Amino acid sequence: MVSSVVLSGGGGRRRRRGWIASWLCLFLVVAVAFLGCGEAAVKSDFLIGLGSYDITGPAADVNMMGYANTEQIASGIHFRLRARAFIVAEASNGGKRVAFVNLDACMASQIVTVKVLERLQARYGDLYTADNVAISGIHTHAGPGGYLQYVTYIVTSFGFVRQSFDVLVDGIEKTIIQAHENLRPGSILVNEGELLDAGINRSPSAYLNNPYEERKRYSYDVDKKMTLLKFVDDEWGPIGSFNWFATHGTSMSRTNSLISGDNKGAAARFMEDWFKQKASEEGLETAGSGLLSSDVNAVKLSRRVSMIIPQTREEIVQHASSIEATGGWPATSFLSATQRVRSTFRQGNRPAFVSAFCQTNCGDVSPNVAGAFCIDTGRPCDFNHSTCNGKNELCYGRGPGYPDEFESTRIIGDRQFKKAVDLFNSASEQVKGSVDYRHKYIDFSQLKVTIGDQVVKTCPAAMGFAFAAGTTDGPGAFDFTQGMIKWLVRNVLKTPNQAQVDCQHPKPILLDTGEMKEPYDWAPSILPIQILRIGQVVILSVPSEFSTMAGRRLRDAVKVALTSSGTAEFDSNVHVVIAGLTNTYSQYVTTFEEYAIQRYEGASTLYGPHTLSGYIQEFKKLATALISGETVEAGPLPPDLLKKQISLLPPVVMDSTPFGVKFGDISVDVPVNATVRKGETVSATFWSACPRNDLMTEGTFALVERSTGGVDSWVPAYDDDDFCLRFRWSRPSSLSSHSHATIEWTAPAAAVPGVYRLRHFGAAKSLFGSVRHYTGASRSFTVL
């Protein structure tokens, strides 16, 4: 044995060195072989790529999409809207791929989807098509409207709004391009967990009409499950996450006029900032492992300014008192983009972290978890009809931050964010298997549906009277009660024929939209349905808002179809999620039993009482084709109505200021020698111009800057994509060419003590059509 050999003298030393060298060589050979085997063992099954792009749109004059309230006109920004995308491709050459885009928008639009696909076809050929691309909306009710092609959905926006449409098509395309160019070897983890306090059922009387035996299978009358995908780059570690959870984007009320991603947009902003801060604190090289054990409750959401110059309190105050407002001066559109706080987060080729909070079967789920109350008495609303003394207009849901809708948005967003971080950190189940997809267009106005031994049909689209009553999240403006079954007379637009009345029964038809064709289609007939498969994760893309129980029935039916096929493709561990409001929009889907009650959701189930059965039938066919490898007929193509669109929104004619005043000049300045403490708000008002002249896409209208101590030396600290900053725009009257921009900033707990100022960017249009960019800054103030 080697251990028994006695080595001595020079010869012994030479033999000892030779022995050590031999063992070192053997160790290196074994190590290399081991590492090689290990590398082969963890070789990625997927290529993954993520992307994100600004889709905020016009922040003035445009009606917001969601509440159908003609008085809800955009007049500023709460925080910006974004499109976020992931692409997953099989690692093998020629392998299949899927792309999923999540929009901070009320819903997807058929015409937007059509035009995005045309652009992708021109750029990539058949790599991205209607079959494998899903475009989904989070259902915020605080984004610009006018981007759908059917009349029903653009009446309150005075028709089609080209800016709203263009910013979505451009943003989605750029997001997918980013994700495509970011494709790299990586892995995916999936995790699920319950979030109990971010949604309640807003139509409980309808839910209770579902069979008792079915209801008792579930602990709650809304889905509490969040399903999260965690994307991990082989080299860089975690690069993003997408999750699906059911709650409406109605934390912001029907009277809000600031563009906002509502609670899901806020959650996405919080999580991306969280990751960026942790990566910054721990270093890019260690961010991946360090984040796995971080305490979300210790994380401060707001990012901070570098280049901090230590100063005493007296020095800060003295420095602040010496800096006055700048007055307006010319700028460029590029300057706004370069001053944004959030630039692309990269070191070398490291992709930005992208986090999306997607929508699922939210049809009857409200984020206003404190319940619905009468605004005149403070008492709970009527249980069956959500009315107060017979009037629906008085019944409003209350969020957890009531009466502050911004605080309610923050709280519901924060709850989703914290649950997502928990699932992100604890994710351990690796996604394994193939990538696949199936897609089909179906004419839902006349679909034959087999239920047992009976064949029934869906109907042309129609909306019932309870649609006009609205919901507790946004009551209607007319005295229609939820659950109204009386056959009221309405002959304003079109009287439905007897066949339609019978088909839609027991819905009393208010608007027979499926049969209204002037000046063009009022509602869709042809809808897309789609299944995306990534290993054991199956995403069902639906073009509507499914109620809680409707979503459960669809998921269960597809899961049974996948797992009972007799193949080894899927087992009981398959994760089936619904992506709501995807690829187009066709309002609601309830169960047959909920439809009979005719609450808002039932009245908005367009294609009659058998709509859900039609979806289940057709999705089971897609699932069967997915398992068997069979192709699916494309079905009838939806119409392209872009050339028929009518827009009645007046253009910006011109902007002007009073004599002697420049754009960007201060109208109301920060108080002299102002000192702001954490949690306090400071504001300044500037002479401004209409935000529609330049949307400042990937830029900002508002900035909080911090002095670095030098002469006119400032760094950006917060912008109009920050939850703590609000950009408000106003004009004295609708025909006035004068306007003001007010920047309000509430100093967050993470704000660094120092000297700050508020800065506005804008673009003014002359009478002859030229657009000139400008900027201006307030006097400085102290943050302690």
Tell me the catalytic residues.
366
> Is 545 labeled as ligand-binding?
yes
By the 10 Å C-beta count (0-12 exposed, 13-18 middle, 19+ buried), 332 is classed as middle
Q: What is the dihedral of CA 572, 195, 254, 52, to 10 degrees?
A: -70
Q: Residue 488 CA to chain centroid, in angstroms? A: 38
- CA dist., res. 706 & res. 541, Å (int): 45
- CA dist., res. 561 & res. 575, Å (int): 13
The number of helices, as runs of H, and strands, as runs of E, in the chain is 16, 39
> Could you tell me the two tokens for 394?
């008085």
Q: Are the beta carbons of 582 and 134 closer than 8 angstroms?
A: yes
User: What are the beta bridge partners of residue 398?
Assistant: 371
CA 106, 252, 733 angle in degrees (round to 5)? 90
- CA dist., res. 635 & res. 360, Å (int): 25
Burial 150-181 (b: 16+ CB within 10 A, else e): bbbbbebbbebbebbbebbbbbbbbbbbbbbe
Q: Nearest to residue 271, comparing CAs of 226, 337, 225, 338?
A: 226
> Could you tell me the two tokens for 583?
């690829």
> Is 71 labeled as ligand-binding?
no
Q: Nearest to residue 304, comparing CAs of 674, 750, 755?
A: 750
DSSP letters spanning 22-57: HHHHHHHHHHHHHHHHHHHHT--SEEEEEEEEE---
Beta strand 675-676 with 781-783 is parallel
Q: Are the beta carbons of 546 and 363 closer than 8 angstroms?
A: yes
Q: Cα-flanking dihedrals φ and ψ of residue 189, to 5°?
A: -115, 150
Backbone torsion region of residue 679, taken as left when φ is above 0, otherwise alpha when ψ lies between -120 and 50, otherwise beta: left
Q: Are the beta carbons of 443 and 529 closer than 8 angstroms?
A: no
The three-state secondary structure class of 457 is strand
For residue 765, give the amino acid letter.
K
N- to C-terminal Cα distance for the chain? 74
> Is 248 labeled as ligand-binding?
yes
Q: Residue 302 CA to chain centroid, in angstroms? A: 20
> Is 385 labeled as ligand-binding?
no
Q: Nearest to residue 692, comparing CAs of 751, 762, 632?
A: 762
Going by the annotation, the residues of the binding site for Zn(2+) are 139, 248, 545, 588
Going by the annotation, the residues of the binding site are 139, 248, 545, 588
